[in-house]
């Protein structure tokens, strides 16, 4: 499946001073833009093909102190720019449910590694949907934490105002255990009891695949049966949120990669170069307008989460696309990320989890979003859903048999 870029030697994958911990024995792979000291960290790019990380990223060190075993670095879209993960100097990973389809991106290798059982947990990064899209495409559970929750030291940036790092696992309970180790305290809900779940049907627009819309409705009905209140609260400014995020991310990308674009642009994967180059034409006035749009959206979300505890939406509006589809790079990125990018503009957490199976046989992912720092509530609700469904337990045809 072309998932692993480097296997991590035991001497580099564990903390020799730790004999036990909350993640003892848990096998973890990390996206290859996250440094593991003494191991190649390529960002999926020819520019960094021989780069060896000097030290562990902060999140890797935290996992080692919790007793985890870092086994591998995982394939990704080059420089974490891309929704299919096919633009990697190491070649593209494929989906274990159907190797003729994409695994999502940019943390594609992370989603595949968990779904196929190569690791128990993977770390991904998420700027516009790069944890949530692979989780949805591969039928696993992935968390984009609140912005600023985790230390990003030792992680190659995409856009500092939106970058997050988070865990992907088969179950919400293992995501919660991993997040607790990363923040060094128990991630628990601040309150329990029935919740108000917003399902903004206008957000689930007419161009969402009918099977995906039906999976969301079925999940909403399950939540209602479990005692929660399901309400239709609109998400203000959601129609413009994707453009706001794109403007800010691409302007940051163009600045980060300006020298590479000027000196050796041919070393980029073509799809990466096409997307990064979009930022070159973004003026300061346009960026300032996007920053104002960001602030307006975030103020509106404070009001939304005063009325609702959690928002339920699809993770992706379409079925998992095939490899080598005819869609242009930019058009495909916008379509696949149509429902993840707005929640990247929000400061709070979003969790992707499997909520059904498409008639094609591919997983369907939903998103749960909560107010800033409400990861505990979000994960508790996801655990409740997974206590009453088995979508997260289903394994793809291509998987590791550990018996």
Catalytic positions, please?
31, 106, 130
Angle, helix 238-256 to helix 270-277, in steps of 10 degrees? 110
Distance of alpha carbon 159 from alpha carbon 25, whole angstroms = 33
CA-closest candidate to residue 120, choices 173, 56, 180, 188: 173
CA–CA distance, 11 with 362 (Å, rounded to integer)? 38
**CA distance from start to end of the chain:** 21
Which residue from 172, 200, 216 is spatially nearest to 314, judged by alpha carbons?
A: 216
Return the structure tokens found at 30: 């990390």
Label residues 255-267 b or e (16+ Cβ within 10 Å = b). ebbeebbeeeeee
Which residue carries 């998400």 as its tokens? 235
Tally of CA atoms within 13 A in the half-sphere of 402 that contains its CB: 7
d(CA 159, CA 280): 15
307 vs 235, 334, 357, CA distance in Å?
Answer: 11, 29, 31
Torsion of CA 24, 28, 33, 34, to 10 degrees: 0
Check residue 47 and report its DSSP letter: G
The β-bridge relationship of strands 164-169 and 196-198 is unpaired
Cα 56 from Cα 178, distance rounded (Å): 17
- Residue 221, SS3 per DSSP: helix
Taking the C-alpha atoms of residue 198 and residue 361, their distance in angstroms, rounded to an integer, is 28
Q: Helices 172-183 & 375-387, crossing angle to 10 degrees? A: 160
């Amino acid at each position: 499946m072309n998932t692993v870029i480097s296997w991590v030697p035991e001497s580099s994958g564990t903390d020799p001073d730790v004999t036990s911990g909350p993640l003892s024995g848990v096998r973890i792979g990390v996206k290859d833009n996250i440094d593991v000291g003494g191991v190649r960290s390529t960002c999926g790019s020819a520019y960094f093909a021989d780069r060896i990380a000097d030290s562990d990223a902060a999140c890797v060190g935290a996992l080692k102190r919790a007793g985890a075993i870092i086994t591998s670095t995982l394939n990704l879209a080059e420089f974490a720019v891309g929704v299919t993960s096919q633009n990697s100097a190491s070649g593209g990973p494929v989906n274990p449910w159907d190797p003729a389809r994409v695994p999502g991106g940019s943390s594609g290798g992370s989603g595949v590694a968990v779904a196929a059982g190569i690791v128990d947990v993977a770390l991904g990064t998420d700027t516009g949907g790069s944890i949530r899209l692979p989780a949805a495409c591969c039928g696993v559970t992935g968390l984009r934490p609140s912005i600023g929750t985790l230390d990003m030291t030792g992680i190659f940036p995409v856009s500092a105002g939106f970058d997050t790092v988070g865990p992907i696992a088969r179950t919400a309970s293992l995501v919660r255990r991993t997040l607790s180790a990363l923040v060094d305290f128990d991630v628990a809900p601040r309150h329990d009891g029935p919740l108000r779940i917003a399902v903004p049907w206008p957000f689930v627009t007419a161009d969402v695949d009918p099977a995906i819309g039906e999976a969301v409705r079925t999940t909403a009905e399950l939540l209602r049966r479990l005692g929660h209140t399901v309400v239709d609260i609109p998400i203000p400014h959601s129609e413009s949120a994707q453009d706001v995020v794109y403007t800010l991310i691409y302007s940051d990308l163009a600045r980060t990669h300006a020298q590479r674009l000027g000196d050796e642009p041919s070393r980029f994967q073509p799809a990466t170069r096409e997307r990064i180059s979009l930022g070159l034409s973004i003026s300061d006035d346009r960026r300032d307008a996007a920053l104002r749009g960001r602030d307006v959206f975030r103020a509106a979300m404070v009001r939304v989460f005063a009325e609702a505890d959690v928002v339920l939406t699809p993770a992706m509006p379409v079925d998992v696309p095939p490899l080598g589809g005819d869609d242009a790079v930019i058009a495909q990125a916008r379509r696949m990320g149509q429902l993840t990018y707005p929640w990247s503009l929000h400061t709070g957490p979003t969790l992707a989890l499997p909520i059904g199976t498409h008639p094609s046989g591919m997983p369907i992912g939903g998103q749960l979003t909560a107010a800033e720092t409400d990861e505990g509530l979000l994960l508790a609700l996801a655990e409740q859903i997974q206590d009453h469904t088995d979508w997260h337990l289903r394994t793809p045809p291509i998987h590791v048999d550990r018996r």
